[in-house]
Amino acid sequence: EETERAKQFVALTQHVVRSVGAGILAADLDGKTLYVNPAGASILGISDVDDQIGKPLEVVMPLAEHNWGLIASRARSQSIPRIEGTLERSQARLGLSVDPLKDERATVVGFIVNFQDLTELRIKADRERMKDRMAATGEMAARMAHEIKNPLASISGSAQMLGTVGGVDATGRRLLNIVVDESRRLSGILEGFLVFARPGSATHAICDLSKWLDDCLALLRRSDEIKPGHELLLESPDHLFVLGEEHLLRQIFWNLSRNALQAMPNGGNLRIFAERRERSVVIRWRDNGVGMSEEIRHRAFEPFVTTQSTGTGLGLAVVYSAVQEHGGSVDILSAPGRGTTVTVELPAVLEQA
Ranges of each domain in the chain: 2-119, 202-353
Q: Which CATH architecture has domain 2-119?
A: 2-Layer Sandwich (3.30)
CATH top class, domain 202-353: alpha beta
Is residue 99 a contact partner of residue 75, using CB atoms and an 8 Å limit?
yes
| Interatomic CA distance for residues 141 and 127, integer angstroms | 20
Q: Is the dihedral of CA 56, 59, 61, 66 positive or negative?
A: positive
Q: Percent helix, strand, coil in the chain (nearest 5)?
A: 45, 25, 30
Q: Note the pLDDT tens digit of each residue in 327-345.
A: 888 989 988 988 999 999 9
> Which helix (H) or strand (E) is 159 found in, with range?
helix 118-164
Assess whether pLDDT exceeds 90 at residue 61. Answer: yes
> Which whole-number Å values give the CA distances from 201 to 60, 240, 326, in the listed order?
52, 24, 12
2-119 and 202-353 have identical folds: no
* Strand ranges inside 103-141, DSSP E: 108-117
| Interatomic CA distance for residues 196 and 228, integer angstroms | 32
Assess whether pLDDT exceeds 60 at residue 146. Answer: yes
Q: Note the pLDDT tens digit of each residue in 154-194.
A: 888 888 888 777 777 888 888 888 888 888 777 776 766 66
Residues 6+ apart with CB under 8 A from 133: 302
The model's pTM: 0.53
pLDDT score recorded for residue 182: 80
Average pLDDT over the chain, rounded to an integer: 81
DSSP state of 277: -
Assess whether pLDDT exceeds 90 at residue 284. Answer: yes
